[in-house]
Amino acid sequence: MNQTTTYDPTTSGVSSVGERNRVLRNTYWLLALSMVPTVLGAWIGVQTGIARAMSPGIGLVVFLVGAFGFMFAIEKTKNSAAGVPVLLAFTFFMGIMLSRLVGVVLGLSNGASLIMMAFAGTGAIFLGMAAMSSIIKRDLSAMGKWLFIGAIMVLVAGIANFFIQSSALMITLSVLVIGIFSAFILYDLKRVQDGLETNYISATLGVYLSIYNVFQALLSLFGIAGGRDE
């Protein structure tokens, strides 16, 4: 016999509808605010060349140590008044790290248009996933494990490609990153809407990282496929 189980977010979540809406609203506001230090960091990085001044190896180490260090600090401060400033400092750091890629793309004759295309593509993906998160009624919790495994595999392959320097692998990884982290946006927003994530700082961090990775992957793809030299 087949038994059908209906998922009810009003009973599966741990918070009231009003609380879930408040967390979701705060997540969207903080996510929008986090873009300001990201853009500022990228602009300062391009103007000063601080990221490009580091060798690729040093840059990778700084990125990994800085990113995981900030994420640890955010997790420790998410329930205190320091949580938001620490998150915004993290997004500023991520903007500086992004400036290396942005600077390379801006060096192309159509670099500015490629950046706008990547920005528009990222925005469209985010809006699509946000809309889907409010429409889909089924429980997506099982996605988390597989998405995490996929993200780890992509991270390991990306580090390996740092040494291999394969354009074909880079394109493949960029496509995978777009797919995996687009799904992560849906997953994280659905968790908030179902009351499974009740801290808006943690929710913002998850969605921000996904948006960051999608934008970076799109910009890399556009730079490879559509870039024109000066």
In the block, which residue shows the tokens 């394969």?
A: 166
- CA separation for the pair 62, 65 (Å, rounded): 5
User: What is the CB-side half-sphere exposure of residue 71 using CA atoms within 13 A?
Assistant: 13
Q: Model confidence over 128-171: pLDDT tens digits?
A: 999 999 898 888 888 989 999 999 999 899 888 888 888 888 89
The answer, yes or no, to whether residue 1 has pLDDT greater than 50, is no
Structure tokens, 155: 């991270």
Question: pTM for this one?
Answer: 0.88
- CA separation for the pair 61, 148 (Å, rounded): 22
The answer, yes or no, to whether residue 4 has pLDDT greater than 50, is no
Q: Where do the structural domains in the chain lie, given as residue ranges? A: 16-226
Q: Model confidence over 54-106: pLDDT tens digits?
A: 888 898 899 999 999 999 999 999 999 999 999 999 999 999 999 999 999 99
> Average of pLDDT values for 207-222?
95
**Termini Cα distance of the chain:** 67
Instruction: Decide if 72 contacts 86 (C-beta within 8 A).
Output: no
